[in-house]
Amino acid sequence: MAILNDITLGQYYASDSFIHRLDPRTKILVIFSAMAVFILTYNAIRLAIALMIILIIVKVSSVPFSLVMRNLKPFLWLFFFTILFHLFLSKDEVPWVTIPYLDLQISKSGLMNGMLYSFRLAILILLAAMLTLTTSPMELADALDRFFKPLQRFGVSTHEFTMMITLSLRFIPTLIEEADKLQKAQMSRGARFEGNLIQRVKSVIPLILPLFISVFRRADELALAMDARCYIGGKGRTSFKKLVFMRNDYFVLAGNLAFIVLFIVT
């Protein structure tokens, strides 16, 4: 599916940039704190500044700009419906445009709010993409395991939880590749995936069952492979790579804290 090929969530772009060398815990803390701040932001100028900072981070990370921006393409329909939703449901005392015969009023504030919400959503998607593109699945697993480690005192099996999250992210590109293979196989048998929206939805339905079968088959193969390697998980497992905060991590965390404070205060 062409639209699925644009999703890079879960893919890792190997490089030796400054961003890649940061501790994964640093990147998770910075990105999630930035997401929390941007969610509560309703100022277009601040969001524009945030987008500029993200573009600078993309440049520093050596990740191709086109690879990052591809993540927005599958969500264009969501941006469209977000703008449409605010366009017709937001009301002004004096409507901007009135559609005759339908008695629908379009407000200027609705258009601005729709664009603002879509812009903010795009920023969140880019941040999530940058996290997975610059952090390998194993690094994410180690970082999440450290974050959730205090929950072990309450009997929570944190290692299995982080392993499930990591495997889910790891298999997103694999499932996208499998869906693409299934689509090409059916196209070679005469199936068509073109036409209007309803025709495309109908053409995708035959792909669902074989894709589910492939998912369960791969899950079974993964379970057998982990069992063959005597994987038991749980308490007592050690990590091959020890996570240690370096000087650059402290600089980035301090800069992120200063940015958030300045972002909230101003």
For the stretch 103-148, pLDDT in tens is 666 777 777 888 888 898 899 888 888 888 888 877 887 888 888 7
Q: What is the pLDDT of residue 250?
A: 92
Q: What is the pLDDT of residue 108?
A: 73
* Torsion of the alpha carbons at 30, 36, 37 and 41, rounded to the nearest 10: 150
pTM (two decimals): 0.73
Total tally of structural domains belonging to the chain: 1
Residue 114: domain span:
4-265
Q: What is the pLDDT of residue 30?
A: 92
Q: What is the pLDDT of residue 26?
A: 92
Low-confidence ranges of the chain (pLDDT < 50): 1-3
